[in-house]
Structure 1
Amino acid sequence: MPILRIKNRHRNKQLKILFASYECAPFYKLGGLGDVAGSLPVALKELGVDIRVIMPYYYKIKEDYPEIKKYKLNIYQSNLPRSRVPVYFLDQPIFRAKNIFDQSERARFITFSLLIKELLDENSLNWRPDIIHCNDWQTALVTKTYKKQKSQKYLGAKTVFTIHNIGYTGRTKLSVLEKFGFTEADFNQIKNGSVNLMRQAILDADLVSTVSPTYAREILTPAYGYDMADALEKRKKDLCGILNGLNVSDWNPKKDKDIIKKFGLEDIGNKYINKNQLQKICGFETVANVPLIAMVSRLAGQKGFDLLKQAFAEIMRLNLQFVILGTGAKEYEDFFRQMNERYKHRFSAHIKFDLKLARQIYAGADMFLMPSKYEPCGLGQLIAMKYGAIPIVRSTGGLVDTVSRDSGLSFKKYDSSEMFKTIKRALTVYHNQRKWLKLVKNSMKKDFSWATSAKKYLKIYQKLIK
């Protein structure tokens, strides 16, 4: 059956989207945005959208993907894997640094934003989008350039700005922005000689989105929206929350080559072979009826590790096994290394990045702990449910939208005793085999594919070009 092509009614042509991001899996991935940029465009392409990704051509991409071909002067091109979604890589000396977050970080991403407009003005891609979809502060100034001065050569591009994590604002000194031709009059608010680029993009974009419905409501309050809550309140009618998806072709226990035994709903017993393997890796006793809790996370305060630190001794008095994988703040890395020595036969800390081990942890764990202080969307709980590990989460952001009573356990107050009580409650349910198996099956049946998210993005794109 042919794909239904989405038309822009007013121009009678296929809807064209330029997706601007500073990271995109698999070419260059640092966080959740990389996953979004590598997956959402593919799902939109399947809906008939002519979508293309644009990002900087970093030194590491050049090293890791030598097969990427030059499209024309200073522009390289490839496709997202297993798709027909073009990716344009912009090559400039400032993008070639080995550390993209060095002292030139602000100048690097200002350059990226301005180059996007320049390329479109000059029609360097031989293609012009109806909408430019910008992501986080690194592309915030694209929205400013289109609001400040509609190009005489290229009129009509609308902008969508997606907030993936409002905690990273891209605050930049006005003196740096002035070197790129901006003036004080271009910005709605300057504090201590600096501009909050995320706040400015919220005010400048034609439409603002974020990565879950609950987070969209939360950031309207100062507790979550910080000094951007007032700007978001002004744009409330143009703000929406669309839940991120999960790349189910990549995260699928039925096809995962990195776990000891593949499994699905029809052979769920194989999950316990994976648990046994994980217990061996961690140096735990290989018993089936002791619950195994896992965390795969950046070790940061946002992820609730302060609560875990406070409650850790109490947790380890319970009859359970516990594994953590991740890197981050030295305070937490040091703490978990110490706990590794103290509880070595029941607690295992892996202070590193190891994707293969992460997959085995998801496949082998009974429960997945995610006590986040705030969580725009969250990916860990989606993977955990797909692999039959029951999430224990704090009710915030995307965790509210993805973890329900029939697929996990949650607590509201950001408090270590509340977290501890919820872990104890999970252990009680675990020892009721019938109830636990139902939870596991419910969680594995959940559909978090990108197809659902893509349909919602398509609706907001269509709203903009009416």
Structure 2
Amino acid sequence: MRVMHVGSEVFPFSRSGGLGDVLGALPAEQARLLTGLGNTGADDEVSVISPWYASLSGTPTELWRGRLPELGADAGDVTVGELRQDGVRYLFIGLREFHRPGLYHPDDVWRYSLFGRAVMPVLKLLNAVPDVLHGHDWQAGLALAHAHLAGIRTVFSIHNLAYQGKWNMAEASRWTGLPGWAFGADGLEFHGDLNHMKAGLIFADHVTTVSPTYALEITTPQYGEGLEGLLIRLNREGRLSGIINGLDQERWNPRTDPDIPAFGDLAGKEAARAVLRAEFGLDDAPILATVSRLADQKGIDLLIEAMGDLVPHWNIVVLGGGDPLLTAALTGWSQHPRVAFAQGLNEALAHRIYAGADAFAMPSRFEPCGLSQMISMRYGTLPVVRETGGLVDTVPQDVGFRFADATPEALAAACHEARQAFDDRADWESRVERAMSLDFSWDGPAAQYLALYRRLGEG
């Protein structure tokens, strides 16, 4: 079986968030499973294809350079490079539209339209056409559409339905290379726009989301982002399912983590807590932390509004960047002796926070899967989460603390419950021990995806 993943980012070469983490871990685990099953021949390969960004970490070996007629006369030269790591072949498509700092830009619908059109011609040039093409999020929607039309079995994974890659139909339809019949209401059209997320949904043989609860939520108007009708149909046809994400067990391992005083038990965690207290000058109250994008989805505004109720009982540490209004509010609160705010992305600091905090707040309005709650539990930090999406599927009630309503009052009440549990050392320590024993490895999810690919091949 030859499997090709398509995505806009892949750790450690390019990453802005959870999608990059998934594309960095899932293919490697699938390759390991195939090897373990004795499938080591040339016909068994797991690959990833992604844009060759100017900021790409690593230097791919150039395999091909030239013009692709499928992209039109004005596209310029295309470069294709390769890296191999952990049994996975990584292919990178270099287009001039990606020769900029960073990953994402305002004209991304145009950029990923070009990338999506280039995927199949590149794979044919390299004799690398897969048995199954697995596209991830809207940036892969067009690539998946072309693969489906070429007769390749396809899986499309929704990592976040809120981002759909929409653009004016009259303009964007010229960028796709798709036949005219694809642009009606039963195709890519969505309220007058062309919708790349819908392209993935329409052309996939099977659609997955990154947790079973989110798969149910997106068939409702509250979470369906206007596509719930299509998703209800896919669910009714048996073509929609949820497979929970895993966690990179090597990158997130408190026993071997180079960024913290490594630990594997309750006694060792105290050293990590001491490091975090010293770094931010915190007192001896327990530490409630979050590492997050500062965005409406993540409910950080709820945390800010609840701050007055929380600081009498908790030290609060926040790491993240994004919305300037949320950033300003957190900067203001950081003047309080029990509140620390570090702006931006800082991988090493994130590890120290996960390890040193006592509780971890995730008041998300919606959360397709979430990795932070899994990381925090692996590091013995108990999550306080809203009951939505993957947070429901991964946070047992005898480990973490869950609340239903997206309000600062509900968040504060759950944090107070956690604070009471913290004062009952026997209760708290038993929760921490259960948290650290949970299995969030990629073994199970990777095997589920491989089984799905095989079912599609048998259908």
| TM-score, structure 1 normalization | 0.89
- The answer for the alignment partner of 2:160 in structure 1 is 165
Distance, in Å, in 1 between the alignment partners of 2:190 and 2:443 is 41
- Classify the secondary structure of the residue corresponding to 1:258: coil
> Is 2:316 aligned against 1:322?
yes
Residue identity matched to 1:405: Q
Residue identity matched to 1:65: G
Task: Check whether the contact 2:27–2:48 (CA below 8 A) recurs between aligned residues.
Answer: yes
Q: Where does the alignment leave 5 or more consecutive residues of structure 1 unmatched?
A: 1-14, 151-155
- The answer for the alignment partner of 2:332 in structure 1 is 338
Q: Report how many aligned residue pairs link the two structures.
A: 430
- Classify the secondary structure of the residue corresponding to 2:87: coil
Residue pairs, 1:379-398, within 5 angstroms: 379-398=371-390
Task: Check whether the contact 2:134–2:144 (CA below 8 A) recurs between aligned residues.
Answer: no
- Residue 193 (structure 1) shift: 3.7
- The answer for the alignment partner of 2:8 in structure 1 is 22
Distance, in Å, in 2 between the alignment partners of 1:180 and 1:426 is 51
- The answer for the alignment partner of 2:454 in structure 1 is 462
Residue identity matched to 2:52: Y
Task: Check whether the contact 1:294–1:361 (CA below 8 A) recurs between aligned residues.
Answer: yes
Distance, in Å, in 2 between the alignment partners of 1:258 and 1:232 is 42
- Residue 104 (structure 1) shift: 3.4
- Residue 294 (structure 1) shift: 0.5
* Structure 2 counterpart of 1:52, from 31, 39, 47: 47
Percent identity, aligned pairs only? 34
- Classify the secondary structure of the residue corresponding to 2:111: helix
Distance, in Å, in 2 between the alignment partners of 1:281 and 1:429 is 26
- Residue 445 (structure 1) shift: 0.3
Q: Where does the alignment leave 5 or more consecutive residues of structure 2 unmatched?
A: 35-43, 66-78
Distance, in Å, in 2 between the alignment partners of 1:309 and 1:99 is 29
Q: For each residue in 1:307-344, what CA deviation from the matched residue of structure 2 results, as whole angstroms up to 9, or x when unmatched?
A: 1122221112x322111111110111000111111x1x
- Residue 99 (structure 1) shift: 4.5
Residue pairs, 1:230-249, within 5 angstroms: 230-236=229-235, 237-249=238-250
Residue pairs, 1:36-51, within 5 angstroms: 36-48=22-34, 50-51=45-46
- The answer for the alignment partner of 2:181 in structure 1 is 185
- The answer for the alignment partner of 2:259 in structure 1 is 258
Task: Check whether the contact 1:300–1:328 (CA below 8 A) recurs between aligned residues.
Answer: yes
Residue identity matched to 2:24: G
Q: For each residue in 1:368-398, what CA deviation from the matched residue of structure 2 results, as whole angstroms up to 9, or x when unmatched?
A: 0111100000011011000000001001000
Q: CA, structure 1 residues 179+271, in 2 after alignment: closer, same or farther (shift >3 Å)? A: closer
Pick which of 345-354 and 227-236 moved more: 345-354
- The answer for the alignment partner of 1:106 in structure 2 is 109
- The answer for the alignment partner of 1:225 in structure 2 is 224
Q: For each residue in 1:132-154, what CA deviation from the matched residue of structure 2 results, as whole angstroms up to 9, or x when unmatched?
A: 0001110101232244x43xxxx
Q: For each residue in 1:45-99, what CA deviation from the matched residue of structure 2 results, as whole angstroms up to 9, or x when unmatched?
A: 01115211111111111xx423x2112332110023xx12110111222221225
Residue identity matched to 1:276: A
Distance, in Å, in 1 between the alignment partners of 2:24 and 2:176 is 30
- The answer for the alignment partner of 1:153 in structure 2 is none
- Residue 180 (structure 1) shift: 4.2
Root mean square deviation, CA, Å: 1.5
Distance, in Å, in 1 between the alignment partners of 2:319 and 2:250 is 23
Distance, in Å, in 2 between the alignment partners of 1:103 and 1:347 is 34
Distance, in Å, in 1 between the alignment partners of 2:314 and 2:390 is 27
Residue identity matched to 1:331: L
Residue pairs, 1:417-456, within 5 angstroms: 417-456=409-448
Residue identity matched to 1:22: S
> Is 2:78 aligned against 1:78?
no
Distance, in Å, in 2 between the alignment partners of 1:86 and 1:181 is 27
Distance, in Å, in 2 between the alignment partners of 1:76 and 1:463 is 32
Task: Check whether the contact 2:117–2:177 (CA below 8 A) recurs between aligned residues.
Answer: no
Task: Check whether the contact 2:374–2:440 (CA below 8 A) recurs between aligned residues.
Answer: yes
